[in-house]
Amino acid sequence: MTDLELSTLLEAILMASEVPLSLREILAILEEETYAESEIIRALFELEAKYRKAAGGIELVEVASGWRFQVPERFSAWVGKLFEARQQRYSTAFFETLALIAYQQPVTRGDIEAVRGVAVSGNIIKTLEDREWIKVVGRKEVPGRPMLYATTEQFLDDLNLKSLKELPALPELEALFSEVTETEETPQLTI
């Protein structure tokens, strides 16, 4: 296969996939072909550049769990209308809890409560687990052995991040929380 054929094949595989595909998964799909890992990586970056240069309605991005096609953020206001019925509103307490887990992980529920100054609702933890944004990664070696929580690859994927290093700086996050609190009587954000 030529470089063009590899690029087209990767494009087809990624377009058909419902989830991001890691390099390992792509290699497994192409097992009968004789491509070096470096050839596939080069082709992925070339495809990414091709879509970025075209500035169209689709882009190829690398997230924590692999590569995927998605709609560019500049179109999210319109495309989001397709999914309005599925949107959920979350409280500031929900996002504060998520932020503490993301920035301080691994943390216990008690750690979160100590910072927030109030009890963490079991519903918040359950919702975060149901969305697959957090998971139990162990137990803290203290009396009672409370569970330790950390974020997941799904959390990073949903936020279009490759790693936790790409999270916004805490001052930016604090500004977002204060903006939400000032504009709404009952602070809630929509995802």
In a domain, 35, yes or no: yes
Backbone angles phi and psi of 160, in degrees to 5: 60, 40
Give the per-residue pLDDT at 86: 61
Give the per-residue pLDDT at 186: 41
Residue 102 and residue 70 in one domain: no
Instruction: Copy the structure tokens of residue 133.
Output: 């944004």
Residue 51 and residue 94 in one domain: no
Residue 114 and residue 44 in one domain: no
In a domain, 81, yes or no: no
What domain range is 127 assigned to?
88-190
In a domain, 79, yes or no: no
Give the per-residue pLDDT at 190: 45
Residue 168, preceding peptide bond in cis (omega within 30° of 0): no
Give the per-residue pLDDT at 34: 76
Give the per-residue pLDDT at 181: 46
Give the per-residue pLDDT at 36: 86
Residue numbers of the chain with a pLDDT score lower than 70: 1-4, 84-87, 173-191
Residue 101 and residue 157 in one domain: yes
DSSP three-state, residue 52: helix
In a domain, 174, yes or no: yes
Give the per-residue pLDDT at 81: 83
Q: Can you tell me the distance from the alpha carbon of 170 to that of 151, in angstroms, rounded to the nearest whole number? A: 17
Backbone angles phi and psi of 91, in degrees to 5: -80, 165
Question: The whole model's pTM is what?
Answer: 0.65
**Residue carrying the six token digits 């509103």:** 89
Residue 63 and residue 133 in one domain: no
